[in-house]
Every structure is written in C-alpha cells, then in structure tokens.
Amino acid sequence: MHSMNSSASASTAALQLDALAVPFDTAVDAHEGASGLRDISLTLARGERVVLLGPSGEGKTSLLRAIAGLAPLSHGRVVVNGRDVTRAAPELRDAVYLHQVPVLFPHLSVSENIGFPLMLRGVARAERTRVVQSLLARLQLDGLADRAPHALSGGQRHRVALARALAARPHVLLLDEPLSALDPGLRRDVREAIRIAHAESDAGILLVTHDLDDATAMGDRLAIMLDRTIAQVAPADVLFARPATRGVMRFLGLHQEFTGHVENQHTVHTPLGDLAVPSDARQATQGALTVTVAIRNDAIRCETGSTTDAGSHALNGPVVHVHHRASGSSATVQLAATTVHALIDPLHAPAVGTSVSIHVDPRGLLIFPD
C-alpha cells in the first residue's frame, strides 16, 4: 500500500490521463458517444497545480471521481506515478479525493481523523503522533487535536481534511470545487490552506472550479473544459493572450467579438474599421470570406474628441454609458455599425453623450475562422 516513490524517476508525472471517457449517469451502462466527457488527456507533473475550469455541471466532478476510482470510466487509462491504476480499487491508487464539503469521520477526533491514513498503514503510534502534531502545526490547527468534527468551524474542517490527505502522502490530490459557495473570509482561509498543502508535499494537485479568478490564483496551468472535453491547457497568461478556440475565448470573457470580412491576406474589414491581420493569424484568413475577430478588452481605448487620422483606424461615436468597476472603468460607445466597450481613465471619464474616438491596438487581435 506504500507509494512506490523510490523507483520513480524525477520526470515521472504524478498523474497522466490518456483519452478518458467518463459517463455522466453511473447507473446506466457506459458507452462512448452517450452523454459524458470524452477524449480527456492531461499530464500533471509532480508538485504542479492544474485547475480544471469550466461551466457548472456534472462533468468536472465526475472526472475527478473517476480518477479517484469512485466513478466508472468507459474508456482510457489513468496512470499515477507511472503505474496504471485504471482497474485498481480506490484505496490502491495513491490519489486522494477531497469532497467539496469536507467529509470528516464524525466519531473520530481531529487528530484521529488526521492520523487515519497512518493507522490504516500500520504506522506505529509514536510515529503517528509525531506526524499528526507536525501537520496540526503546519495547518494552524494547534489546540484542536482532541476536538470533535462537529465542533469545528468551516475553515477548520477544510484544514483538517487537507491535513488528513497530506498524511496519506499521495501522489495526486484531487480537490473538488474547494472554494465554491464559500464566503470571502472562508475562501481566503481555504486558499491559504491549499497553498500550505502544496508547499508541504510534492503531490500533483488537480483542482476543479468554475470561477476564473480562483483558477488563475491557484493554478500553474488551467485546463478549460468545454463541450465535454478539454479545449485548452495552458498557463493563465498564455490562455488570456492566445485562447485556442472561439469557445475558450468566449468562456474567458476577456474579448469582444465582431464579424470580420476578409479583404485580403493582410486586412480584415470589421465594424471597427479595417484592421491589420496579425502575422500568425494569416492562416485563419486563408480562403475564408468571413471570420470572427476577437479584440481584447484592454486593446480598445477611447479618447474625447474626434480624429480623422487614417493611420490609426479611428472611429467616432457618442458615449451611451459609463461603467465604473474595481477592476477598471469602461465606456460603452455607439458606433455607426456596432456598440463597443472601451477602457477609460476613471479620473477623466467622458460624460454620457460626449463624442469620442475609438482606438484599437492591433496586438490585441485574434482571428477565428467561422
């Protein structure tokens, strides 16, 4: 039952998923093509944190549970630390699954809960106590060793669950929506606990969430799940700069979309004027008549007054709405062909009705074939 760490090379991934298909309805006989996730492939390195991000729905949880051995797979391979565990029982996978609401054994104290994996493995009492004490300290649970689970606060329960998972010394930690439906204070608490857990162990962490901000804060890489499969896996900055598909782009919500008519290889005509096609997007425009042009929100600026400067693709229109947010202010401008949201300086916000000119930074352009 002890993890086979010693023989694994440094480059062995903590977790590798090969073309998994996960059925949604576990009571029905699974077969490909039915409702469920398909073609899920992912590699999780030791000590890496990957966040599975996607709209709320059953898929992400089912995937985690399938990896843990708690839900069936209809196709594919799960490899933990170089060992194929696709057919293995949950207790033999070295992959610990943590429920969204922490599941602590009600009849055991905090220290007994944490020591549970050690007790299972026959670790001697003295050693068990030592490990439990150290975990209690690391996760700021001092003084709670003999407390009963029902007497713990929400944040404390999350930390006990994480401590217990660490005690099992797994290769993979599977966290199912750990921050969903938590108030901000609790959220910070749990995020911090996960950070500590990450620091304490070299397990790969696979985390599920539907919140983009949580994902970017907690993930080394983000795996966007759309249309029942993984659309893109990349670090956050790459994701924001180069979303791979239109679906990912829309999911991230950081771009504004417009229909573009291809004039030639270098130019595309949009409601915001003729824009230059970025060099790496030339392929997308080949042979196409219309494409989707996506412009990053922060690539659209506006300035008061009009401009007729032909070289900067300027366009003019009145401001119809100004929106101030903590993350930045924007003005909604009515152009001849469309409305557009432009970033503005909150200290010099144009009044509604003012005529402004729109400037597009061509570096923020993405082209998606229709």
CB of 336 to another protein, least distance (A): 45
Check: CB of residue 110 under 8 Å from CB of residue 150: no
Among 19, 87, 105, 339, indicate the residue that binds another protein (CB under 8 A). 105
Concatenating the DSSP letter of every residue in 247-293 gives: HHHHHHT-EEEEEEEE-SSSEEEETTEEEEPPGGGHHHHTT-SEEEE
CB of 39 to another protein, least distance (A): 21
Contact between 90 and another protein by CB under 8 A: the answer reads yes
Residue 25 or 227: which CB sits closer to another protein? 25
d(CA 221, CA 49): 7
Answer left, alpha or beta for residue 289, where phi above 0 means left and psi between -120 and 50 means alpha.
alpha
Among the residue ranges 84-92, 267-275, 298-306, 334-342, the one whose residues contact another protein (CB under 8 A): 84-92
Query: Encoding tokens for residue 31?
Result: 């077969």
Contact between 117 and another protein by CB under 8 A: the answer reads yes
Concatenating the DSSP letter of every residue in 316-365 gives: EEEEEEEEEETTEEEEEEE-SS-EEEEEE-GGGPPPTT-EEEEEE-GGGE
Contact between 71 and another protein by CB under 8 A: the answer reads yes
Partner residues linked to 344 by β-bridges: 329
Contact between 69 and another protein by CB under 8 A: the answer reads yes
Which of positions 5-44 make contact with another protein (CB under 8 A)? 26-29
Check: CB of residue 98 under 8 Å from CB of residue 176: yes
**Number of residues near another protein (by CB under 8 A):** 32
Among 72, 247, 278, 318, indicate the residue that binds another protein (CB under 8 A). 72
Which of positions 167-196 make contact with another protein (CB under 8 A)? 168
CB of 61 to another protein, least distance (A): 12
Contact between 154 and another protein by CB under 8 A: the answer reads no
Tokens 């391979």, residue? 77
CB of 199 to another protein, least distance (A): 21
Check: CB of residue 79 under 8 Å from CB of residue 73: no
Looking at this protein, which amino acid is placed at residue 14?
A
Contact between 91 and another protein by CB under 8 A: the answer reads yes
Residue 119 or 352: which CB sits closer to another protein? 119
CB of 170 to another protein, least distance (A): 8
Residues that bind another protein (CB under 8 A): 1, 26-29, 68-72, 89-91, 95-97, 99, 103, 105-107, 116-117, 119-121, 148-150, 164-165, 168
